Chains A and B, each alone.
Chain A
């Protein structure tokens, strides 16, 4: 199973909005609504930010939102804050009954 495709890096200024894309295939993102997103700060474990494409776990700010169109899922962070600077990973369930991750995106808050 090939990794999902994410941009290596994105950046934005405080208060702005950014979107991170996650492109898969008709064997994963395109066929299931089982896309999740994770935030990882340096030296820390990943934290679930979005599950089932667009659902936020309790405690995750509503500045974080998710969506999907065809084979591409997206994570949008609005009202960017300094503490949002981190690595972000998407993941999807696949037709092989296994999950796959994206390569990760480094978000820089300018």
Chain B
């Protein structure tokens, strides 16, 4: 069965960095677009970034552009999010999600990893 398992979250000071990972199993990872989507405590969902199946196409939300970098290693069935210059407002649960294809949403989500940015 499809599984997405995130890791790498934790407590970091403003201005710090963190690298999130998402390991996929149960499907051919290299065939799918992947996204990072976050949810601040008590708030709604916010799309963060997506990467195409080959890694050649990448987009970011304006709120993270220039600070976050998405990448993937298809040989390791893994998705990453390098987060630099973290701000208090980046505090959220970060989900990795599989793109359903054709811009038609995300059909599988991980359980999420909590990132807390605080001094």
Contact = CB atoms under 8 A, between A and B. Distances in A.
B110 A98 contact: no
A46 B109 contact: yes
Contacts of A91: 45, 47, 105
B27 interface: no
Nearest to A48: B107
Interface in B23-70: 35, 44-47, 50, 59, 61-62
Interface string A14-48: 00000000000000000010101010100001111
Nearest to A99: B47
B105 A45 contact: no
A98 B59 contact: yes
Interface residues on B, range: 20 to 34
A65 B47 CA distance: 24
Contacts of B45: 38, 40, 46, 89, 91, 101, 104
Contacts of B95: 45-46
Given A99-B47, A104-B44, 19 more contacts: A32-B103, A36-B100, A36-B105, A36-B106, A38-B105, A46-B106, A51-B100, A51-B104, A89-B44, A89-B45, A91-B45, A98-B50, A98-B61, A99-B35, A101-B45, A101-B47, A102-B44, A103-B44, A104-B45
Interface of A: 1, 3, 32, 34, 36, 38, 40, 45-48, 51-52, 55, 57, 89, 91, 93, 97-104
22 contacts: A3-B44, A32-B103, A34-B105, A36-B100, A38-B45, A45-B109, A45-B112, A46-B106, A46-B109, A48-B100, A48-B105, A48-B106, A51-B100, A52-B102, A52-B105, A89-B44, A98-B47, A98-B50, A99-B35, A99-B47, A100-B47, A101-B45
